[in-house]
Amino acid sequence: MIDLTGRVALVTGAAGGIGAGITAAFLAAGATVVAAWHTRPPAEPPGSAAGDGRWLAVPADLTAPDGPDHLVSAAVGRFGRLDALVNNAARQDLEPLATMTDDQFRAMLDTNLVAVHRLTQRAVPELARTGGSVVTIASIEAATPAPAHAHYAVSKAAVVMQAKAAALEYGPQGVRVNTVSPGLVDRPGLAADWPEGVERWERAAPLRRLGTPADVGAACVFLCSPLASWITGTDLTVDGGVSVNPHW
């Protein structure tokens, strides 16, 4: 069991399914979590995490000029340190390339890429004080796009390279930066909404199942733990093996 007792993690997009899974994984490892949200607040975690002061929900718009500073200041102001940043907040609008507007393309990049760069940049001085690390949630679509997902796939490919560049430049400060690329992660109602897609995925994945938010959370905890102390600039694929299945 990884023990992150005494460490503070900032998780963005904490109200979503994957964000909740990441938050739960850090809390289970003993960490304190600052759960950042924008459109709706996250549910209070079960158990004693909220009651014993190991959980704090903070609203922020990461595309606003003061969003990153607000989040980092809230974390350090409340808990006195920052050990991990998980850039999970993202959008995934659907639009074919033929009808995609400049505003749609730009909005995707602003949330999925520019906000990640700005929050990472703001967090690094605090992470450098604790030997902390950054994990950004990318996607297997960074390598293999899906129809009507072009702007999303581009943004995720970009954050993989952003993390590699950040690992190079922030490494001398003792800060590690990695990405996690999930495959299809289950959510309530997914099988009913997209039965043929779920069936295709389960048939294609060697492990024969969809991912869970807990799977993604476990990968993030590992990369932010001492077990990964010599891992930086890498992309950890968490997809049940679907990426190794031949596409032809």
Q: What pLDDT is recorded for position 42?
A: 86
Q: Which residue has the tokens 């703001």?
A: 122
Q: What is the chain's percent helix, strand, coil content, to nearest 5?
A: 45, 15, 40
Among 6, 155, 158, 11, which residue's Cα sits nearest to residue 85?
11
Strand 133-137's sheet: what is its strand order? 55-59, 32-37, 8-11, 84-87, 133-137, 176-182, 235-238
Catalytic residue status for 170: no
Measured CA to CA, the distance from residue 148 to residue 203 in angstroms comes to 23
Nearest residue to 30 via CA among 1, 9, 69, 3: 3
**Residue 198 burial (CB count, 10 A):** 17
And the tokens for 121? 């940049």
Per residue in 109-144, pLDDT (tens digit) is 999 999 999 999 999 999 999 999 999 999 999 999
Neighbours of 208 (CB within 10 A): 11
**DSSP of 128-149:** HHHT-EEEEE--GGGTS--TT-
pLDDT of residue 48: 64
Residues in the chain where the model's pLDDT stays below 70: 48-51, 248
Q: Which amino acid is it at 46?
A: P
Give the start-end residues of each E strand in 20-75. 32-37, 55-59
The pLDDT score that the predictor gives to residue 197 is 87
| Phi–psi pair at 10, nearest 5 degrees | -105, 120
pLDDT of res. 111: 95
Kindly state the helix (H) or strand (E) to which residue 182 belongs, with its residue range.
Answer: strand 176-182
pLDDT tens, position by position, 164-190:
999 999 999 999 999 999 999 989 988
Of the candidates 55, 152, 201, 222, the residue annotated as catalytic is 152
Taking only Cα atoms into account, the Rg of the chain, rounded to an integer number of angstroms, comes to 17
Q: Read off the tokens for 149.
A: 């997902």
| Architecture category of domain 8-242 in CATH | 3-Layer(aba) Sandwich (3.40)
Q: What pLDDT, on a 0 to 100 scale, did the predictor assign at position 248?
A: 65
Calpha distance 121→18 (Å, rounded)? 23
